[in-house]
């Protein structure tokens, strides 16, 4: 059986992103989303989630390019920039903090505390979270994965995104940027350790995530190729749909015009009725284990 979770990332980023996710879910295409706890349109996303109980909603844990839930000065000074109180704007800056000093124990403690605060913030809004993932896939790194899993477990969640894209899916992503392909391929060496940690911690995940290499260039042709080549198993299609409106234009992200293209491209999913669409709720009850 071929099963697919279609997840809309960045739920809560802007009203236009929220609208795209809601419309795709209503169209029977998008089954899952991950919500940012401290974004401009988080309150609107929470309202949409309550109005669409069939939509799986997870926590999109933000450790890069975002605003912490906890106090930057008092609670997470190592995770944030002293000048602004914001998290590092890039993955490179975050990794420099994580691996650039001899002792990262304080930072790891702050990662767990902030992840726990983000999860509990959304649960406090009455949401039953289906899983966790992370902005820019930071949880692929072992020193981030363990504290995130501890935070999730303490909140009753046992399901997490598998952030690694298999080689067959990268090959099927024609048009993906070469730098992105190289990055996805090189980072795959972390997968054996990642899986071992997941097994030790008793978490559930998919067989892999597709369209990671295609982030920013995902179109209908790429969706068709990925689903045509999709093997047996349970997979996640990671997407970033939305509307490129004035709110999105004010945000420093390269994923702007591509959100309109992705939103329209996902209609191609309906051309593959043999692929069973599920959400993270279907993998295993989050309170198990």
Question: Tokens representing 181?
Answer: 């392909």
pLDDT digits (tens, 9 = 90+) for 130-150: 999 999 999 999 999 999 999
User: Model-level pTM?
Assistant: 0.93
**What domains, with CATH codes, occur in the chain?**
2-282 (3.20.20.370)
Percent of the chain with pLDDT over 90: 81
Structure confidence at residue 253 as a pLDDT band (50, 70, 90): low
- Under a CB-based contact definition with an 8 Å cutoff, are residues 280 and 5 in contact? yes
pLDDT digits (tens, 9 = 90+) for 27-51: 999 999 999 999 999 999 999 999 9
pLDDT reported for residue 256: 59
What is the rounded (10 degree) CA torsion for 186, 137, 151, 143? 30
pLDDT reported for residue 96: 87
pLDDT digits (tens, 9 = 90+) for 95-126: 888 887 666 889 999 999 999 999 999 999 99
* 106/91 Cα distance (integer angstroms): 19
- Under a CB-based contact definition with an 8 Å cutoff, are residues 67 and 86 in contact? yes
Query: What's the DSSP call for residue 160?
Result: B
pLDDT reported for residue 97: 84
* 172/24 Cα distance (integer angstroms): 23
* 150/143 Cα distance (integer angstroms): 12
Nearest-5° Cα angle at 76, 286 to 70:
60
Look at residue 254 and tell me whether its pLDDT is greater than 80.
Answer: no
Coil, strand, or helix at residue 6? strand
- Under a CB-based contact definition with an 8 Å cutoff, are residues 92 and 70 in contact? no
Question: Tokens representing 89?
Answer: 């704007």
- E-strand stretches of the chain: 2-11, 32-35, 56-61, 132-134, 209-210, 233-239, 276-278
Mean pLDDT of 192-201: 96
Question: Tokens representing 57?
Answer: 């909603």
């Amino acid at each position: 059986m071929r099963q697919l979770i279609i997840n809309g990332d960045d739920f809560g980023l802007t009203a236009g992103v929220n609208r795209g996710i809601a419309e795709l879910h209503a169209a029977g295409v998008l089954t899952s989303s991950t919500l940012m706890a401290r974004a401009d349109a988080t309150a609107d996303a929470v309202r949409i989630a309550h109005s669409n109980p069939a939509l799986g909603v997870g926590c999109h844990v933000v450790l890069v390019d975002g605003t912490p839930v906890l106090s930057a000065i008092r609670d997470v000074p190592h995770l944030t920039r002293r000048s602004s109180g914001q998290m590092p704007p890039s993955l490179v800056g975050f990794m420099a903090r994580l691996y650039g000093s001899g002792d990262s124990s304080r930072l790891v403690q702050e990662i767990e505390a902030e992840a726990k605060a983000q999860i509990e913030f959304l649960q406090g809004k009455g949401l039953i979270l289906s899983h966790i993932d992370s902005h820019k896939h930071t949880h692929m790194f072992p020193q981030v994965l363990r504290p995130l899993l501890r935070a999730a477990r303490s909140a009753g969640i046992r399901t997490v995104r598998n952030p690694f894209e298999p080689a067959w899916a990268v090959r099927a992503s024609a048009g993906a940027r070469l730098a992105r392909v190289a990055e996805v391929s090189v980072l795959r060496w972390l997968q054996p350790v990642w899986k071992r940690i997941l097994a030790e911690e008793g978490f559930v995940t998919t067989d892999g995530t597709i369209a990671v290499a295609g982030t920013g260039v995902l179109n209908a042709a790429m969706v068709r190729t990925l689903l045509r080549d999709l093997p047996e198993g349970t997979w996640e299609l990671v997407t970033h749909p939305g509307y490129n409106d004035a709110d999105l234009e004010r945000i420093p992200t390269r994923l702007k015009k591509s959100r309109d293209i992705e939103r329209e491209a996902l209609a191609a999913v309906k051309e593959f009725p043999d692929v069973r669409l599920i959400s993270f709720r279907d993998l295993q009850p989050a309170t198990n284990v």
